[in-house]
Chains A and B, each alone.
Chain A
Amino acid sequence: MMLMYTDHSFDASQNQPWNYGDLVRDLDLKPIIETMAGGDDFIAQVVAKALVIGVDDVDTILYRQGVLEDTLRNIDTVRSVYAIITQAITEGRRRLFWIPNPNPESVVFDSVRTLEVYLDTLDKVREVFDASASQFKSSGFQNLIHSLDYRFDRNYLNSIRLMLSSLEFPSGVSVAVRLGDEAELTKKPLLIISGANRGGKTVYLRSIGQAQLMMQCGMFVAAETFESSISSGVYTHFKREEDKELGGGKLDEELSRLSSIIDHVKPNSMVLFNESFASTNAREGSELAKQTVTALLERKIRVLYVTHFYEFPLWFYENRPSLAVFLVAERKEDGTRTFKVREGVPLETSFAEDVYSKIFGDHTQDEERE
């Protein structure tokens, strides 16, 4: 009878994971949560937790995807159920809210009335489902319909609302970055995205993080196709713009955040880095990135890293080519941004000599004089 798990209900009262704040902020999850909640705080709470907590077994994901498919197929039916339920909840709340004189008698009376409203509602819901029971194929909905006669619980209804609300999810909320053929690329454990500033690197990283989370809670993913392995936890280590003034303390802060991630990651986790260690010089930052990533890969942790460093990607390009995929934020000849990333060499390394010769004339003269 559960729409979220095969064998139990979603526990809306469970605590948020320790990195909830970082994930919401770094992956820009707020718009997704808000759209799904449609203005209801309770739904928002459930959605946020469901999104961030995710599940790490394929069966549950498939189970949820089935429910989602059913919902799409029977959109009118589910909508009318949703309407009946929300009306009842509103009605019930209104009653409880307007108790003028809270003496025990009237409280009991109103509570009973409220429960009656809910029971009426349950009947109405049952009628609707009875009329179209054969249309629902997913085990989730079948469980629901079969058990409607016996049990009624609050999480149940809210789960439906959650599913319904997600139908209003507009495709434009998360910036749609086409993965296209590149979906293949993520099969390697390390993805390094480099290239021009404001070329869409962060948006790309975010979209992958969002897609991973959404996939792992059985939701839509903002892409034509998306295929990924299931992670045991998604972690983000993004640079923090507002800490500019801290100076030397900033690298300290970055390393301290990294340390909290290290406390939690385990094999099969996924860590997203965005311009990490940019608070120090390129040399040191590259070295820190190299050490961190090498160790994480050795522990079978997937890493996505947006960077403007050269030494760090270059080292993997030259020393660990089988582990890494390199993407470059694209920019057209005229400098306009495409907001797309393509597979590419992390850094053009051959141009420096050319440019020097072009500007200073033949550099061999320098060597001769040396």
Chain B
Amino acid sequence: MAFQSILFKDPRNVEKQLRTPPDFFVDLGLNNVAKELVKGLDEFNIEPLFYTPLDQTDEIVYRQQVFVDIENPRLMGAIRVFSDRFRMVLAYINNDRLYELQRQGLFLKAVNVYCGSLRDLAKALESGGIRSEGLQAFRDYLGNYLNTSEFNDLRTDAENTLSKITSVELCLTIKGGSISVSKCDGAVDYSEEVERVFERFMGSGTIGDEGVSKPIYIRGHVEEVVLEFAAKLYPDAFRALRDFYVKHKDFLNQTIARFYREIQFYIAYLRYIEPLKKSGLMFCIPRLTSNKGEVNCRDGFDIALASKLVKKNSVVVTNSFHLTGKERIIIVTGPNHGGKTTFAREFAQAHYLAKLGVPVPGSEATLFLCDTIFTHFERGEAVESLRGKLEDELVRIRNILEKSTERSIIIINEMLGSTTVKDATIIGRRILKRIADKDCICVYVTFVDELALTEGVVSYVSQVDVNEPEKRTYKVIRQQPNGLAYALALAKKHRVSYQDILERVKP
């Protein structure tokens, strides 16, 4: 099948994009990730791509392969240059604030940049050792396109027209409020002389032609008048320019233009994770599995939090997780601020990002191809009575249980906080039973240690250093719950445990 999309193996999937983020986006902190990813890219409308997870492994692999290919920095560099130049092409041809002759001139320039950028990109793709289905198909498509008579006509016409236009020489005599335009028949051109005199002030940089991302062009009405005079002096050149404009008005290849738009998704994601990688964090292409008993991720992290921390030059702590055999449910306990919720987010984010086909946090990862993720987080709005709060929580978990399938992932963060530990244990276990019956994967963050002792669940515990509690360790380790060890150790450190107070306050 001819190449159509670098994002979708089956181009019909393009139509299935969602306009609004999934329900769990905010709970997982992904709203901030998406917002930052698309910053400055409004024109490409790539936001829906981050809202639309892929359901088929071959679609996911299609994108993953592209990411593997563009790990080659030379190829990535070439794609970035292509993208910048293409952006300029569009800026040139879509500028409706220009006068007619100016527009024609920029149009010519645009076509020249366009042709150059495509040839350079094709070269880079040929020599880039690409393995991905998507980029290979695009390389072939581009190669074919560059060999079409359509493209060759465009290129040669552009070159010819350009050489005619660049041969135009004008002499402008500016005197008071009037300008006269003439051919330069032996008139003295002072500009060279002036340039020579002022050379030392010019700096060492040279002004490139099309490589500069900011187009420099004339757009005023005076310039337009000058051009009109020039057109009278050089009618052939300007006729050629007009003919070129009319003939090639629709030169833009729509498939390539679409590639340009779609490749922004890859560029944006890599741009987002670049500072994280620089700080020493790792990303990997996950293997998708349909076996829940082989979920595994090493050195993962919460991508939203990491992005924030790296900006502040703070250290990000990584966490690993895995499920083996019949393990489905992870109970996360431990002191607050030890990274319990962060760990739950890490788990869910990894599975979501994997479904976008992008590299995920971690040095290596095998992730379950889930159908969807459900999150049950504490709600900000105040439900006032305890009964009301419990009701609200249970209704929400019931709805999740109704909608979930054996392929769903459920993330529960601090549920049943409005009841006693005894009730939270009893009800928590009943809910765990229902989740286990569904065979869902679940991460359940709670301060009820008893839940971590439920049969069949896996216990992870957040760690805080008693001697340096202000330091966020965010380390969450697979181990048995440690009860009140942390709080009591901290109380002892400050000599305010029950015994300490009795000793310090004299009767």
Contacts and interface: CB of A to CB of B under 8 A. Distances in A.
A267 B507 CA distance: 6
Contacts of A256: 494
A252 B472 CA distance: 13
A291 B497 contact: yes
B423 interface: yes
B487 A351 contact: no
Contacts of A263: 504
A62 interface: no
A144 to B, nearest CB: 40
B384 A252 contact: no
Nearest to A359: B394
A301 interface: yes
Nearest to B340: A281
B395 interface: yes
A154 interface: no
- The listed residue with most B CB atoms (<10 A of its CB), out of A263, A267, A280, A301, is A280
Interface string B491-504: 10111111111101
Interface stretch (A51-59, A207-215, A362-370): A362-370
A67 to B, nearest CB: 35
Contacts of A358: 391
Contact of A355 (B394, B470, B495): B394
Interface residues of A, number: 57
A282 B437 CA distance: 29
B293 interface: no
B417 A282 contact: yes
B410 to A, nearest CB: 16
Nearest to A337: B384
Contacts of A351: 386-387, 390, 419
B470 A283 contact: no
A363 B487 contact: no
Interface in A248-279: 248-252, 255-256, 258-259, 262-263, 265-267, 279
A320 interface: no
- The listed residue with most A CB atoms (<10 A of its CB), out of B423, B449, B472, is B423
A341 B231 CA distance: 90
Contacts of B487: 251, 280, 284-285, 287-288
B33 to A, nearest CB: 21
Given A258-B494, A280-B487, A301-B505, A366 B433 contact: yes
B430 A363 contact: yes
Contact of A249 (B391, B470, B486, B505): B470
Interface of A is mostly: helix
B469 interface: yes
B494 A360 contact: no
Contacts of B116: none
Contact of B464 (A196, A248, A347, A353): A248
Contact of B420 (A252, A258, A265, A310): A310
A246 B394 contact: no
A131 interface: no
Given A255-B494, A283-B449, A356-B430, A298 B502 contact: yes
B19 interface: no
A299 B501 contact: yes
Contacts of A287: 484, 487-488
Contacts of B469: 248-249, 251-252
B337 A247 contact: yes
Given A252-B470, A288-B487, A266 B505 contact: yes
B433 A262 contact: no
B182 to A, nearest CB: 71
A262 B495 contact: yes
Interface in B419-457: 419-421, 423, 426-427, 430, 433-434, 437, 447-449
A369 to B, nearest CB: 7
Contacts of B394: 355-356, 359-360
B490 interface: yes
A279 B470 CA distance: 12
Interface string B391-426: 100110010000000000000000001011101001
Contact of B447 (A247, A282, A292, A347): A282
B489 to A, nearest CB: 11
Interface string A338-353: 0000000001110111
Contact of B498 (A281, A295, A353, A360): A295
Interface string B142-160: 0000000000000000000
Given A284-B484, A284-B487, A352-B427, A369 B384 contact: no
B498 A294 contact: yes
A331 interface: yes
A314 interface: yes
A262 B382 contact: no
A281 B335 contact: yes
A192 to B, nearest CB: 15
A360 B398 contact: yes
A262 B506 CA distance: 10
A28 interface: no
Given A267-B507, A295-B498, A310-B419, A255 B390 contact: no
- The listed residue with most B CB atoms (<10 A of its CB), out of A198, A284, A301, is A284
Given A246-B470, A248-B472, A363-B430, A280 B386 contact: no
A265 B505 contact: yes
Interface in B140-179: none
Contact of B398 (A246, A251, A349, A359): A359
B385 A331 contact: yes
B16 interface: no
A352 B335 contact: no
Contacts of A288: 487, 491
A331 B384 contact: yes
Interface string B292-317: 00000000000000000000000000
B447 A291 contact: no
11 contacts: A248-B335, A248-B473, A252-B494, A255-B490, A255-B494, A279-B337, A284-B486, A284-B487, A296-B501, A347-B386, A355-B387
Given A251-B336, A251-B487, A348-B386, 6 more contacts: A252-B469, A281-B447, A284-B335, A331-B384, A347-B420, A370-B433
